[in-house]
Amino acid sequence: MARGLLHALAGAAIGAVAARAAYAAFTRNRQPDDLTGRWTRKNHRGEPITLLEGPAFVAGAGAAAALTPGLPGRLRLAALVAGGGSGALGAYDDLYGTTSSKGFKGHLTALARGEVTSGAVKILGIGATGLGAAALAGGSPLDVVVNGAAIAGAANLANLFDLRPGRAVKVALLTGGPLLAASLLRGSPAAAALAAVPLGAAAALLPDDLGERAMLGDAGANALGALLGLAAVTRLGRPGRYVLLGTVAALTAASEKVSFTKVIAGNPVLNRIDMLGRRPVAPA
């Protein structure tokens, strides 16, 4: 356990330092009120916000995946494929995405009509990178399919929470923290290191996310979910991976009908967690 803890601490620290360094470099010449930048959008308040937190997260987590000690070579490469691939596809959607089709169902419906949306490209691409990462992680053909679907589904699900300041990162910490602890306690040092890598990078960027100066965007949220999904399938047995895939699929399906933001706002406990560290909600 001691060695696994050291590796996890190293992964979190490298991810945090690299993510902060990347964010500082990417935003060095950014003007906060400039809405003409390719990486600038309006947030839920209508205020300008940068999406460069996403590329900074991908860079930080990628550096940590490459440098963290204790990771077997195939898992190290799997993390780079999952995080880098999902992040690149998310960045493509951030820069070139349109709002003509929304949601998983909307993009697939458009694809069935012969319309290739940026979201459809991202969905299919993340599915492929999920399978690639799962194949590198190893297992039977059935394991690869289940694990790949779970990784890709987790990437998409994380993005569904990136609608308010800090929310996606908080969800990652609340789900990834127990995964990290269980991996350490049950002697899975590789899974612990894999979980620590994105958690460290995400936690380091949380202050800017909560401060409404930056957001993960598709690039960061997709990569965050994919990396946590990879850590989960590395740690869990087959029944646990089936439960994970079913849960991810159920939440994704529910998001087509139910607003996560409304559900969270209507639950006192969830709303308190969601608002922790955030600016107060503006009156209607």
CB count in 10 Å sphere of residue 31? 10
CA distance 253 to 126: 17
Tokens of 143: 């394991």
Q: Nearest Cα to 64, choosing from 230, 195, 205, 236?
A: 195
Tell me if residue 77 falls in helix, strand or coil: helix
Tokens of 129: 């990178």
CA distance 10 to 29: 30
Phi then psi for residue 261, to 5 deg, are -60, -45
Amino acid identity for residue 70 in this structure: G
CA distance 267 to 150: 27
From first to last of its 284 residues, what are the pLDDT tens digits of the chain? 677 789 999 999 999 999 999 999 999 877 655 556 788 888 888 888 999 999 999 999 999 999 999 899 999 999 999 999 999 999 998 988 766 556 555 556 666 666 667 777 888 899 999 999 999 998 899 999 999 999 999 999 999 999 999 999 999 999 999 999 999 988 788 899 999 999 999 999 999 999 999 999 999 999 999 999 999 999 999 999 999 999 999 999 999 889 999 999 999 999 999 999 998 876 55
Within 13 Å, how many C-alpha atoms sit on residue 179's CB side? 30
Q: What is the pLDDT of residue 154?
A: 96
Quick check: 55 and 44 in contact, CB under 8 A? no
Q: What is the pLDDT of residue 279?
A: 85
DSSP string covering 10-70: HHHHHHHHHHHHHHHHHTTT--TT---STTEEE-TTS-EEESTHHHHHHHHHHHHHHH-TT
Q: What is the pLDDT of residue 121?
A: 82
Q: Nearest Cα to 83, choosing from 192, 21, 146, 158?
A: 158
Q: What is the DSSP letter of 100?
A: S
Q: What share of the chain is helix, strand, coil (3-state, %, to 5)?
A: 75, 0, 25
DSSP string covering 110-173: HHHTT---HHHHHHHHHHHHHHHHHHHH---HHHHHHHHHHHHHHHHHHHHTTTSTTHHHHHHH
Amino acid identity for residue 170 in this structure: K
Between the alpha carbon of residue 131 and those of residues 90, 168, 193, 253, the distances in Å are: 17, 23, 21, 21
Q: What is the pLDDT of residue 45?
A: 83
What is the pTM assigned to this prediction?
0.91
Within 13 Å, how many C-alpha atoms sit on residue 27's CB side? 25
Q: What is the pLDDT of residue 42?
A: 83
Q: What is the pLDDT of residue 34?
A: 59
Longest CA–CA span in the chain (Å) reads 55
